[in-house]
């Protein structure tokens, strides 16, 4: 493939402004030229899967209060709100592509292990297609209420196992193999192809001016891997003239990548496989420690990220960085995102908390041009939000004012 950058940029813009079909409207399929795993000599509607063109219709926004909070100049700082997808998370980008491939191989059953957003997305696409059965494997008790509600409502078969996400991930792979089910976790390479469009929209939204940093939360590291590809390919083809550094933000309680990258200093290599042996050794150590991931940011509560090798490659290619943040830092950052009239779920706010950490530690300065990805919608996890605001111990809490139903008492309370 040797695409012509200027012609393609024009074509993408034209599809957006004058859509001829739902595939031109779709923020994923608008960029179909760079996701070339389907035979394009056929009628697109026979092949491509889409939620009526609604997936991936996102772009980067400037949020001045968040910029101030993280310590960057507001015209140098953007957040891309992937919560604006049909099922409320970035997963719809990948699911459109993964489902397309599932249909190409005539799958009639699909499965995933999920902390909630993959399952919501997969269940919705399955419901929309109508002739595909969805099986969702979840750990017990950790899935947030909004995501569980979606998964059940869209009619997926929900299998709740005793264990955490890492257990569910292992189980779904074994069951899918046994039953011939098409697996739609982010180890699915086609899903990652779809997630590349998050970066295309980001660059398009910045008029192809390349930021210094692209920051995302790290869970199973599907985005990290997809972003690596989405940046290095256009760089090679001349769409952009420099590579931003990818910054992955872990939660302190689910910091496997941080430990591997910053403590063990394991790096990807093209020439040998030593890094792979070192990861195996490290995972044995995690097992010996009986390590279990634990964070309020349930979407990134993952101990053994399935895309670790691909993510290490993305970090290598883009000279990336990895940082970890506490649950408190995540929730404070989330509250500030809310103060801009936006909102996100806890895992997403790790992007913001991570950038703040980098400015505070002097690793980047106020002139750095950074874009953070807000991965999921605020209403995915209302419990975390309400608990934060009810406790006045939290820095940005906004607890309800409790007063008797009495005008004088209310006026008195409001004048305080
Ligand atoms: C899935 C998910 C993540 C983690 O993304 P990975 O690609 O698995 O690293 C982060 N935030 C939200 C809201 C998610 O749904």
Ligand 1 atom 5: residue of nearest CA? 219
Sequence-distant (6+) residues with CB within 8 A of 290 are none
Q: Is the CB of 218 under 6 A from ligand 1?
A: yes
103-155 pLDDT, tens digit each: 999 999 999 999 999 999 999 999 999 989 999 999 887 788 999 999 999 99
Q: Is the CB of 117 under 6 A from ligand 1?
A: yes
Buried b (16+ CB within 10 A) or exposed e, 60-87: bbebeebbebbbbeeebbbbbbbbbbbb
Question: Dihedral of the CA atoms 48, 52, 56, 61 (nearest 10)?
Answer: 160
Sequence-distant (6+) residues with CB within 8 A of 228 are 246, 310, 311, 313, 314, 315, 317, 318
Predicted structure pTM score: 0.96
Question: 272 falls in which pLDDT band (50, 70, 90)?
Answer: confident
Over range 323-327, report the average pLDDT: 98
Question: 40 falls in which pLDDT band (50, 70, 90)?
Answer: confident
What pLDDT sits at residue 38? Answer: 82
Q: Is the CB of 310 under 6 A from ligand 1?
A: no
Q: Is pLDDT at 65 greater than 80 in this prediction?
A: yes
Over range 276-280, report the average pLDDT: 93
What is the Cα gyration radius of the chain? 21
Q: Is the CB of 217 under 6 A from ligand 1?
A: yes
CA of 311 to the centre of ligand 1 (A): 13
381-404 pLDDT, tens digit each: 999 999 999 999 999 999 999 999
**Residue 88, Ramachandran bin (φ over 0: left; ψ between -120 and 50: alpha; else beta):** left
Q: What is the 3-state secondary structure (H, E, C) of 39-104?
A: CCCCCHHHHCCCCCCCCCCCCEECCHHHHHHHCCCHHHEEEEEHHHCCCCECHHHHHHHHHHHHHH
Q: Is the CB of 223 under 6 A from ligand 1?
A: yes
Over range 261-266, report the average pLDDT: 97
Ligand 1 atom 14: residue of nearest CA? 299
Ligand 1 atom 13: residue of nearest CA? 376
């Amino acid at each position: 493939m040797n695409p012509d950058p200027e012609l393609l940029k024009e074509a993408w813009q034209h599809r957006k402004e004058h859509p001829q079909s739902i595939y031109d409207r779709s923020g994923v399929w608008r960029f179909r030229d760079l996701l070339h795993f389907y035979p394009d000599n056929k009628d697109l509607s026979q092949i491509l899967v889409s939620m009526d063109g609604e997936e991936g219709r996102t772009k980067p926004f400037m949020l001045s209060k968040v910029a101030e909070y993280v310590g960057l100049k507001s015209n140098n700082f953007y957040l891309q709100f992937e919560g604006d997808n049909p099922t409320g998370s970035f997963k719809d980008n990948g699911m459109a592509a993964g489902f397309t491939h599932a249909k190409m191989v005539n799958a009639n059953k699909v499965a995933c292990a999920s902390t909630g957003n993959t399952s919501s997305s997969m269940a919705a696409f399955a419901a929309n297609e109508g002739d595909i059965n969805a099986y969702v494997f979840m750990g017990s008790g950790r899935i947030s209420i909004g995501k569980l509600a979606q998964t059940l409502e869209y009619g997926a078969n929900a299998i709740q196992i005793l264990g955490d996400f890492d257990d569910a991930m292992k189980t779904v792979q074994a069951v899918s193999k046994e039953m011939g089910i098409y697996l739609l976790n982010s180890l699915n390479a086609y899903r990652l192809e779809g997630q590349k469009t998050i970066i295309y929209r980001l660059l398009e939204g910045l008029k192809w001016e390349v930021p210094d940093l692209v920051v995302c939360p790290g869970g199973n590291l599907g985005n990290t891997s997809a972003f690596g590809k989405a940046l290095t390919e256009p760089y090679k083809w001349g769409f952009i003239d420099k590579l931003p550094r990818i910054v992955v933000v872990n939660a302190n309680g689910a910091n496997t990548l941080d430990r591997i990258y910053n403590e063990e200093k394991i790096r990807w290599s093209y020439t040998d496989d030593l890094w792979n042996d070192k990861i195996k050794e490290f995972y044995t150590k995690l097992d010996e420690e009986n390590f279990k991931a634990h964070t309020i940011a349930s979407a990134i509560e993952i101990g053994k990220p399935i895309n670790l090798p691909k993510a290490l490659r993305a970090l290598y290619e883009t000279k990336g960085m990895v940082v970890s943040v506490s649950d408190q830092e995540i929730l404070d950052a989330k509250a500030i995102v809310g103060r801009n009239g936006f909102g996100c779920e806890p895992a997403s706010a790790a992007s913001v908390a991570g950038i703040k950490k980098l400015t505070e530690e002097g690793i980047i300065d106020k002139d750095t041009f950074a874009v953070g990805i807000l991965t999921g919608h605020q209403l995915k996890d209302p419990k975390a939000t309400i608990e934060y605001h009810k406790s006045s111990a939290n820095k940005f809490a906004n607890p309800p004012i409790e007063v008797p139903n009495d005008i004088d008492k209310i006026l008195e309370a409001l004048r305080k």
